[in-house]
A and B are shown apart, each in its own frame.
Chain A
Amino acid sequence: MQHKKQFEQPPRRVALFVTCMVDMIYPQVGRAAVQLLEEQGVEVVFPEDQTCCGQPAFNSGYHDEAVPLARHFVDVFHPLIASGQAEAIVLPSGSCATMTSHFHLELLENDPAYLKRSEELAAVTFELTEFLVDVLEARLPEASLPGKVVYHACCHLLRELHIDAQPRSLLAESGLDMVDMAGSDECCGFGGLFAVKNEPISVAMGNAKLTSIEACGADHVVMCDVSCMTHLQGLLQRQDRRCRAMHIAEALASRHPKAKGEFNTPAQSKALDVGDRPRRWQDVGTN
Chain B
Amino acid sequence: MRSRIDIEAPFKTRVKQAVANPTLADTLTRATLHLKEQKRLSLEELEAQRLRDQMRQMKAHTLRNLPELLERFEHNVVMNGGRVHWAEDADEANRIIGELAEQHDVRKVVKSKSMATEEIHLNHHLEAKGITCVETDLGEYIIQLAEEIPSHIVAPVIHKRIDEISDLFAEKLSMPRTLDPQALCARARVELRQEFLSADMGISGCNFAIADTGTVCIVTNEGNGRMVSTLPRVYVAVMGIEKLVPTPQDAFLQYQSLTRSATGQRVTVYLSMTSGPKRLEDVDGPEEFHVVLMDNGRSRMLADGYGESLMCIRCGACLNVCPVYRQISGHGYGNTYSGPIGAVISPLLSEEMVRNKDLPYASTLCGACRDACPVQIDLPKMLLNLRHDLVSGKHMPGAERRAMQGFAGVASRPAAYRGTARAARTGTRLLSGFGDRNLRRLPPPLHHWTRQRDFPLMAKQSFREWWTKRSGTRGPAT
B425 and A24: CB pair below 8 A? yes
| Bound-state Cα–Cα, A49 to B411, Å | 10
Task: Give chain B interface residues in 380-434, CB to chain A under 8 Å.
Answer: 384, 386-392, 396, 400-401, 404-405, 407-408, 411-414, 417, 421, 424-425, 431, 433
| Bound-state Cα–Cα, A72 to B449, Å | 29
Task: Give chain A interface residues in 239-287, CB to chain B under 8 Å.
Answer: 264, 266, 269-272, 278-279, 282-287
In the complex, which residues of chain A have a beta carbon less than 8 angstroms from the beta carbon of B455? 230, 234
| Bound-state Cα–Cα, A192 to B364, Å | 7
Assess whether A208 is interfacial by the CB under 8 Å rule: yes
Residue of B nearest to A34 (CB): B467
B411 and A72: CB pair below 8 A? yes
In the complex, which residues of chain A have a beta carbon less than 8 angstroms from the beta carbon of B19? 200-201, 204
Assess whether B284 is interfacial by the CB under 8 Å rule: no
In the complex, how many residue pairs between chain A and chain B have their CB atoms under 8 Å apart?
A: 234
CB distance from B39 to the nearest CB of A (A): 15
Residue of A nearest to B408 (CB): A65
Interface centre among B365, B400, B446, B458 (most CB of A within 10 A): B365
Task: Give chain B interface residues in 1-52, CB to chain A under 8 Å.
Answer: 15-16, 19, 25, 29
Number of chain A residues whose Cβ lies closer than 8 Å to a Cβ of chain B: 84
B463 and A66: CB pair below 8 A? no
Stretch of B137-145, B270-278, B436-444 that contacts chain A: B436-444
A54 and B408: CB pair below 8 A? yes
The answer to whether A61 and B363 touch (CB under 8 A), given A24-B424, A69-B411, A286-B442, is no
Interface centre among B25, B408, B414, B466 (most CB of A within 10 A): B408
A30 and B363: CB pair below 8 A? no
Neighbour of B477 across the interface among A43, A185, A194, CB < 8 A? A43
Stretch of B115-123, B195-203, B321-329 that contacts chain A: B321-329
CB distance from A259 to the nearest CB of B (A): 16
B437 and A270: CB pair below 8 A? yes
In the complex, which residues of chain B have a beta carbon less than 8 angstroms from the beta carbon of A286? 441-444, 447
| Bound-state Cα–Cα, A269 to B444, Å | 24
In the complex, which residues of chain B have a beta carbon less than 8 angstroms from the beta carbon of A31? 463, 466
| Bound-state Cα–Cα, A56 to B387, Å | 12
B466 and A27: CB pair below 8 A? yes
Assess whether A231 is interfacial by the CB under 8 Å rule: yes
A195 and B462: CB pair below 8 A? no
Assess whether A114 is interfacial by the CB under 8 Å rule: no
Residue of A nearest to B321 (CB): A186
Stretch of B97-105, B290-298, B366-374 that contacts chain A: B366-374
| Bound-state Cα–Cα, A163 to B445, Å | 34
Assess whether A10 is interfacial by the CB under 8 Å rule: no
B438 and A272: CB pair below 8 A? yes
| Bound-state Cα–Cα, A135 to B90, Å | 56
Assess whether A116 is interfacial by the CB under 8 Å rule: no
In the complex, which residues of chain B have a beta carbon less than 8 angstroms from the beta carbon of A24? 421, 424-425, 458-459, 462-463
| Bound-state Cα–Cα, A66 to B16, Å | 32
In the complex, which residues of chain B have a beta carbon less than 8 angstroms from the beta carbon of A197? 361, 448
Assess whether B279 is interfacial by the CB under 8 Å rule: no
Q: State the majority secondary structure of interface residues on B.
A: helix
Assess whether B310 is interfacial by the CB under 8 Å rule: no
In the complex, which residues of chain B have a beta carbon less than 8 angstroms from the beta carbon of A271? 437-438, 440, 454
In the complex, which residues of chain B have a beta carbon less than 8 angstroms from the beta carbon of A194? 361, 363-365
A204 and B454: CB pair below 8 A? no
B477 and A46: CB pair below 8 A? yes
Task: Give chain B interface residues in 282-338, CB to chain A under 8 Å.
Answer: 323-324, 326-328
A51 and B417: CB pair below 8 A? yes
Assess whether A57 is interfacial by the CB under 8 Å rule: yes
A283 and B441: CB pair below 8 A? yes
| Bound-state Cα–Cα, A49 to B412, Å | 9
Assess whether B461 is interfacial by the CB under 8 Å rule: yes
Stretch of A15-23, A126-134, A216-224 that contacts chain B: A15-23
CB distance from A151 to the nearest CB of B (A): 16
In the complex, which residues of chain B have a beta carbon less than 8 angstroms from the beta carbon of A235? 452-453
In the complex, which residues of chain B have a beta carbon less than 8 angstroms from the beta carbon of A203? 452-453
The answer to whether A54 and B454 touch (CB under 8 A), given A65-B404, A200-B19, is no
Going nearest first, the 5 A-B pairs with the smallest beta carbon separation are A191-B364, A61-B387, A234-B453, A159-B367, A187-B366
Known: A61-B384, A156-B367, A286-B442. 11 other contacts (CB 8 A): A27-B461, A51-B414, A62-B408, A191-B364, A196-B445, A202-B364, A208-B323, A234-B449, A234-B453, A238-B440, A271-B454
Q: List 12 A-B contacts (CB under 8 A).
A: A25-B456, A25-B458, A51-B414, A187-B364, A208-B29, A233-B456, A235-B453, A238-B452, A270-B436, A282-B433, A286-B444, A286-B447
